[in-house]
Amino acid sequence: MTDAHAELAELATALRPALLRLTRVIRAQRADMSITLTKLSALATLYQRGPMSAGELAAQERVQPPSMTKVIAGLEASGYVYRETDPADRRQSILAVTQAGADLLEEERRSRDAWLTGHLGVLTPAERNAIAAAIPALAKLADS
């Protein structure tokens, strides 16, 4: 007789190290690049989803507000994002990506030596399809 919980625990046990190690590898590969993975991710989200407040961006990225404050400060200092006080609620600022930020994202996307893009090319089409098919479920897990 099948134990459903044991099966889920098995899946969790297999998934956890795969996520952790791959994230480590991706971070390490970025060590000598212009911005870190954390900053790149926040910048990409802001670009894709459009201008938003610091709190909204923190929620999107699944970090606490003080963590996002530091990430934004770095992106702002580098000239990749700017902010304007929301006239409707002066506690908030609306963040947006600058042209330099958009250029950086485009460069990252296009770059032939971007590690993850290059290594995805080493996988078989079936393996890439398997990853593509799993992304919505992984995103749903992060949301739940």
Q: Which residues bind a second copy (CB under 8 A)?
A: 4-5, 8-9, 11-26, 28, 37-38, 41, 44-45, 61-63, 109-110, 112, 114, 116-123, 127-128, 130-142, 144
Distance between CA 38 and CA 92 in Å, rounded? 22
Kindly give, in sequence order, each residue whose CB lies less than 8 Å from that of residue 54, ignoring residues fewer than 6 positions away. Answer: 65, 68, 69, 72, 92, 93, 95
Residue 65 interacts with DNA (CB under 7 A): yes or no: yes
Query: Do 89 and 56 contact (CB within 8 A), yes or no?
Result: no
| Closest separation in Å from C-beta 7 to DNA | 27
Which of DNA, a second copy, none binds 121 (CB below 5-8 Å, type-dependent)? Answer: a second copy
Distance between CA 45 and CA 54 in Å, rounded? 12
Binders of DNA among residues 29 to 58 (CB under 7 A) are 31, 36-39, 53-56
For DNA, give the closer residue by CB, 71 or 104.
Answer: 71
Find the helix or strand (DSSP H, E) in which 97 lies: strand 93-97
| Closest separation in Å from C-beta 73 to a second copy | 19
| Closest separation in Å from C-beta 137 to DNA | 21
Query: Do 55 and 96 contact (CB within 8 A), yes or no?
Result: no
Which of DNA, a second copy, none binds 78 (CB below 5-8 Å, type-dependent)? Answer: none
